[in-house]
Copies of this chain bind each other. A is one copy, B any other.
Amino acid sequence: MFLQIEPQSDVPIYTQLTQQIIEGIASGQLKSGESLPSVRALAADLGVNMHTVNKSYHELEKKGMIRIIPKSGAVVTGPNDLGVTNAQIQQVERMLRPVVAEGLVVGLGAQDLQQLVQKLIKNLS
């Protein structure tokens, strides 16, 4: 895969995996219906422990982005056709709040923040 972990980072490995897989889905590198590598295979590929990958997969499942089929594998479950749930919006908002606050305090304006969002959307699409 396209995953690249930084063992030295202060971000836990399983979080790095979760975020990068989400970015992979957002950017279309991982398409809906596509299978993820087995936890053992990906762990061996990255040189990390099986349980670390497993933890990431379960985090992704909790977020509703993949489906884990017991004793079988994990499959990407793209954007829900039924639309975005309130819980998902609130989750994004909860993550976004401290980012916007920090941006404002360091002196970024509304336009600057909007511009950053646009740039990231472009990078992730």
Q: Which A residues, 15 to 37, have Cβ-Cβ distances below 8 Å to chain B?
A: 19, 22-23, 25-26
Partner among B89, B106, B110, B125 whose Cβ is within 8 Å of the Cβ of A108: B89
Q: Which A residues, 51 to 110, have Cβ-Cβ distances below 8 Å to chain B?
A: 63-65, 78-80, 83-85, 88-89, 91-93, 95-108, 110
**A116: CB under 8 A from chain B?**
yes
Q: Count copies of this chain in the complex.
A: 2
**A121: CB under 8 A from chain B?**
yes
Q: Interface residue tally of chain A, by bracket?
A: 35 or more
- Taking beta carbons and an 8 Å cutoff, which residues of A are in contact with B? 19, 22-23, 25-26, 63-65, 78-80, 83-85, 88-89, 91-93, 95-108, 110, 112-114, 116-121, 124-125
Question: What 14 additional pairs, Cβ within 8 angstroms, besides A91-B106, A93-B120?
Answer: A22-B98, A22-B101, A25-B105, A26-B100, A26-B104, A63-B102, A79-B105, A88-B107, A92-B102, A92-B113, A96-B120, A100-B117, A110-B121, A113-B121
